Structure 1
Amino acid sequence: MEIVNTNKNGHTVSSREIASYAGKQHSHVMEAIRKMEKSWAEVNQSSFRLVEYVDGKGQKRPEYLLTKKESLYIATKFNDVARAKLINRWEELEQQVQTNQFQIPTTLSGALLLASQQAEQIEQQQLLLEQTNNQLNAVSTKVNEQASQLQKQAPKVVFADAVIETGDSCLVGHLATLISQAGFSIGQNRLFQLLRDLGYLGNVGEKRNKPLQHAIEDGFFELKYSEYLDNNGNKKMTTVTKVTPKGQAFFINLFKI
């Protein structure tokens, strides 16, 4: 896969290339990008660019084309090796651009055109700096608000930390009880629905109410397997979704704020 040149001012990297760096399936990377897009849009007032490509079978498939800043934001979801590869790729690309694109004008018209382009670049950089400052101010305000909320919720944070110390996984129904004890009244069915809506549990078919792979990798859920005999004496396998101590603390803090 290659970096795709989108315009004279910049380049993009595809979600497929990020998947190759991270050693993950492209569908998993697409899922991670979709979940991270909401937070990005809140800060930057822009969404990621979603396009189509034609795979080896001639079928159209979706992929994201991300700028450098967007791709490095997405890379925070993956391991250090993937981030290092992506950073090296961007550095290599930028060095190529600097080497190949800059030429000293030999005519008056060329010099005037270069001066105009440089003035435009300076104006764009100033605008970007202003946007960055606004984003930093917005983030700072949000952090202060969250810090204030955490201070008010300190007793409940202690309660959630105490859950981790027990070291026991629990059923989603028991998690609903723990969350209610922490101050947010919720029942088992409503909690299942929220966990599906938030993208932690599957929605349909055999995956319904089963943890998605990223939720297992994050250490929030685990699947317990067991065998039983049906009415005909045949062995059957069943799976039960359980919330780890880490997941219990995470969701208690998530729903109480």
Structure 2
Amino acid sequence: MNELIPIQDNDGAQAVLGRDLHKFLEVKDRYNDWFPRMVAYGFSAGQDFTEFSVKPNGAGRPRQDHVITLDMAKEISMIQRTDKGKQARQYFIECERKANEARDTSVENVKSVVAQMTRSEILQIAMNAEQERLALEAKNKELEPKAEAYSSFIEADGKYSVGAVAKMLGIGQNKLFRELRNIGVFIAKGGMKNTPYQQYMRHFEVKAYTITHSDNSESVRHTTYVQPSGIDFIRKKLNLPSIDPIPEL
């Protein structure tokens, strides 16, 4: 299958870059004007797409780009109502079909291996799994008091605000933002200031919201939240003293 639009690996899921799709669709409008209009059709930052900035050829002013899911890419292609849009949508459907075939093949290979195993080998695997379950259960009991201690910090959706993480690490919120910008984890300027670069996104979540100004104009702002894994990631990045591990809630 010819690669009409490069397919990206986004934490194991297929995705494409917004600018690659924009180029293939031959959209006449500037990317920075076109993409917000596409988002307005009901797509959400952090769920359907992730924003990041890159420097063309490693130099010059950074430009905005997005990693978008294949589902979002298919809908955007359909919205265009052009032959290019139809071609892109069919291409993405074919990419998904190929990926599903590969997964099905992997499952069949596993079944084939299991079918060839002896009864004693299967029993040993079951025993090992039970031992791991008991060890995990014991660890969870040990972490219960820590989970209660952190419950006052956690948001309803299981994420932590940057301010809460700053408290855990014993530093001020503004200083934490500044340090993360200085070491290149957070974007330092522009509309996405204080949000993480794409390579660190797995430790964070960015939520977009609209602000209505006194003149009735609107602008989009972004708030960064920290995943449980991001707390120790930040601590190590900033060489801060060790803290008790955050239990998985």
Answer yes or no: same fold by TM over 0.5: no
* Greater helix content: 1
Which band: TM-score by shorter chain? Answer: 0.3 to 0.5
Structure 1 length-normalised TM:
0.36
Structure number, greater radius of gyration: 1
Structure 2 length-normalised TM:
0.36
